[in-house]
């Protein structure tokens, strides 16, 4: 490595539609949360840009790609990197510059105002393995800048180096390093939501709540969802009672990150609704429950507030495969709509 630079100092029945404004307030509060650390990534190689985003996101850092910049002169790497980081309000910058004989990887940390450069024997475009190796190398170079900023000091004596390594190993055992080991933190997430459901039995619209367990929330994964609509009054001829609809779903889920702080997700799978009808018909008690299978599709738009927390809006549409008519003594009491649509304000927390 070559150093360049100058030294400077679950869901409960919701009480009416008031859950929606409360959810919006929670969303606004999350949106005002302090943004995570940002590193600027300058490259013309899309594979390296994607790999850098994954590697830094795993460490709780947002990678913001900046393109169409001329490569800095070797003599002014530190100044150009400083200007780039300040322009994006970032704490670091990473540049991958391609030349005739390979590529030069530059890592700059604003805190110590220094840059490291390393020549890589690769050519554009980088393959998946080369992109991942270069991205991990950039993160390691930034960590080296922060942990050992005094790179112009003379080399330590071999015995002194042994003592330094022993002290570093002991410190890592006592307190794990702040930099992730590269594993994506988004293995398991829980999402809570509240909003409105249209087409619920017994009501045109009603309040509903949702809890969702998501495996791999930031990539292709699975989601298990449970939701409950507020019980609605049902009145038909001589019948008086209530209808409730609880649903469970298993869906495939695909999440993408079109921008550093915004995520989109789509879902598709199967759902099962349990419609429960209770009441009395001409004085005779009625208690009927049926299971209605359905096809579910959904989508969500989320604001990424931090490494662990996101918030946004989610919508689901269920198409029941069988239209259910509830009859007692040949009298229709309730007809369940074929389609249901739910809109929720959602908060997602990554727990693993």
CA distance 35 to 29: 13
Domain end among 130, 152, 174: 152
The pLDDT tens digits of the residues spanning 228-249 come to 888 888 877 778 888 888 999 9
Residue-number span of the structural domain to which 278 is assigned: 188-350
Residue 5: inside a domain: no
Do 231 and 344 lie in a common domain?
Answer: yes
The total number of structural domains that make up the chain: 2
Residue 126: inside a domain: yes
Residue 26: inside a domain: no
Q: pTM score > 0.85 for this model?
A: no
Beta strands in the chain (DSSP E): 2-5, 37-42, 61-66, 92-98, 103-109, 114-120, 188-198, 205-215, 220-236, 239-259, 262-281, 284-304, 309-320, 325-328, 331-335, 339-350
Answer for the pair 304, 260: CB distance below 8 angstroms, yes or no.
Answer: yes
Residue 158: inside a domain: no
At 161 the pLDDT is: 64
Instruction: Please give the residue that has the higher pLDDT: either 284 or 157.
Output: 284
CA distance 116 to 48: 18
Q: What mean pLDDT is predicted for residues 16-20?
A: 42
Q: What mean pLDDT is predicted for residues 256-284?
A: 89
The pLDDT tens digits of the residues spanning 178-200 come to 333 333 446 899 999 999 999 88
Domain end among 125, 152, 179: 152
**Ranges 82-86, 178-182, 272-276, 341-345, most confident:** 341-345
Do 118 and 237 lie in a common domain?
Answer: no
Do 194 and 262 lie in a common domain?
Answer: yes
Mean pLDDT of the residues in the chain: 80
At 183 the pLDDT is: 38
Least confident of 13-27, 46-60, 84-98: 13-27
Do 200 and 323 lie in a common domain?
Answer: yes
Q: What is the CATH number of the domain that holds 71?
A: 3.40.50.10150
24 pLDDT exceeds 70? no
Do 122 and 246 lie in a common domain?
Answer: no
At 34 the pLDDT is: 44
Residue 20: inside a domain: no
Do 246 and 146 lie in a common domain?
Answer: no
Residue 7: inside a domain: no
Residue 18: inside a domain: no
Do 232 and 337 lie in a common domain?
Answer: yes
Q: What mean pLDDT is predicted for residues 335-346?
A: 90
């Amino acid at each position: 490595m070559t150093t360049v630079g100058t030294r400077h100092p679950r869901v409960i029945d919701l009480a009416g539609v008031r859950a929606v404004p409360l959810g919006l307030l929670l969303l606004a509060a999350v949106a005002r949360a302090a943004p995570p650390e940002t590193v600027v990534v300058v490259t013309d190689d899309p594979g390296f840009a994607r790999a850098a985003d994954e590697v830094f996101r795993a460490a709780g850092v947002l990678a913001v790609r900046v393109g169409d910049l001329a490569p800095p002169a070797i003599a002014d790497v530190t100044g150009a990197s400083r200007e780039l980081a300040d322009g994006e309000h970032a704490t670091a910058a990473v540049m991958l510059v391609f030349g005739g004989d390979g590529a030069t990887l530059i890592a700059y940390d604003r805190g110590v105002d220094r840059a490291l450069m390393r020549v890589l024997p690769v050519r554009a475009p980088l393959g998946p393995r080369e992109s991942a190796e270069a991205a991990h190398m950039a993160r390691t170079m930034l960590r080296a800048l922060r942990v050992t900023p005094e790179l112009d000091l003379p080399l330590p004596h071999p015995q002194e180096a042994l003592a330094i390594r022993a002290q570093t190993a002991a410190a890592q055992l006592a307190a794990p390093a702040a930099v992730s080991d590269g594993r994506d933190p988004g293995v398991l997430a829980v999402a809570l939501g509240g909003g409105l459901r249209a087409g619920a039995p017994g009501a045109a619209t009603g309040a509903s709540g949702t809890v969702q367990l998501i495996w791999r929330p930031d990539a292709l994964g699975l989601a298990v969802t449970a939701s409950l609509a507020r019980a609605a009054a049902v009145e038909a001829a001589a019948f008086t009672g209530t209808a409730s609809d609880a649903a469970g779903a298993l869906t495939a889920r695909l999440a993408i990150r079109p921008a550093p702080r915004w995520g989109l997700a789509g879902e598709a799978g199967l759902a099962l609704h349990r419609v429960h009808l209770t009441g009395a018909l001409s004085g005779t008690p009625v208690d009927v429950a049926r299971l209605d299978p359905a096809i579910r599709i959904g989508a969500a738009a989320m604001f990424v507030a931090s490494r662990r927390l996101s918030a946004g809006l989610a919508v689901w549409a269920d198409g029941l495969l069988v239209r259910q008519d509830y009859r007692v003594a040949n009298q229709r009491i309730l007809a369940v709509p074929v389609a249901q649509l739910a809109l929720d304000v959602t908060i997602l927390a990554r727990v693993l």
